[in-house]
Structure 1
Amino acid sequence: MHVTAWAFIYEHPDTDPVEDRIVIDRAGQRTYLVPVPTPAEAPATAIALIDEGIGLIELCGGFALVDAARVVEAVDGRVPVGHVTFAVDSGQGLAAYSAQFEAEQSPA
């Protein structure tokens, strides 16, 4: 399989998957970095990207397994869907990142 266009979908609050996407088009390859405001919007976004010609979708490791499964189900085998995962030894770094993010989101 030769894929010339692929997308990485990640969660980012208050974003629009069309307006806020970044497209990198180089050397015959097109990469889409696509935010979704909530995981619930990822399946519809994935389908829309496939309809635009995307041949492969990667999901950010921040998506829960159940959310990734919903995307796989929605895509129904039309393109491969990958899901970034984190090794067990990265747990401490992930916990620190999560704690910092939560602290920054809390009202002062």
Structure 2
Amino acid sequence: MALAHWGFVYTAPGVSPEGHWATVDTDGCRTRLVAVQSAEQAPAVARRLADEGAQLIELCGAFGPVWTARVIEALDGRVPVGAVGYGPETVDQLHAIFSRPGTAGPLPSVATKGCDVRSPVIRPPS
């Protein structure tokens, strides 16, 4: 089976509580881009994408492993879920971007300073 429908979820400033939904259709594939206010909206958005027929869902790296896991759990194996990943060398740059006024807010704690990114299991600072 070829990929014919997938979704990408990301956070963006100024988005309505329902999110902002955009569709890109080509001859062979439908892409649903969904901007949300916060990571808390991602599980419900992912369920809706799967209900619409998305074969896979990708999440912006700002969701981090905790919210990626929550989305995977919410879908209960219905479709694969992936996440954009950033290496530890980008933490300062990402923090600078997402800490500016008018952005979607601070990165989840897993992507901010003080995390042990060398551990096989990334944990927020205690």
TM-score by length of 1: 0.82
Cα distance between partner residues in 2 of 1:11 and 1:92: 19
Query: Which residue pairs with 2:10 in the alignment?
Result: 10
Query: Which residue pairs with 1:59 in the alignment?
Result: 59
Cα distance between partner residues in 1 of 2:90 and 2:37: 25
Cα deviation per residue 1:14-49 (whole Å; 9 max; x = unaligned)? Answer: 3223xx211100121111110122211111111111
Structure 1: where are the runs of 5+ without partners?
none
Question: Which of the pair has the greater relative contact order for Cα pairs under 8 Å at 6+ separation?
Answer: 1
Cα distance between partner residues in 2 of 1:24 and 1:78: 23
Larger fraction in helix: 1
Cα distance between partner residues in 2 of 1:39 and 1:92: 21
Cα deviation per residue 1:44-88 (whole Å; 9 max; x = unaligned)? Answer: 111111111110000000113211111000111110000111012
Please show how residues 18-97 of structure 1 align to structure 2 within 5 Å.
20-97=20-97
Structure 2: where are the runs of 5+ without partners?
103-126
**Percent identity, aligned pairs only?**
43
Which residue type is aligned with residue 49 of structure 1?
L
SS of the counterpart of 1:57? strand
Which residue type is aligned with residue 32 of structure 1?
R
TM-score by length of 2: 0.71
Which residue type is aligned with residue 33 of structure 2?
L
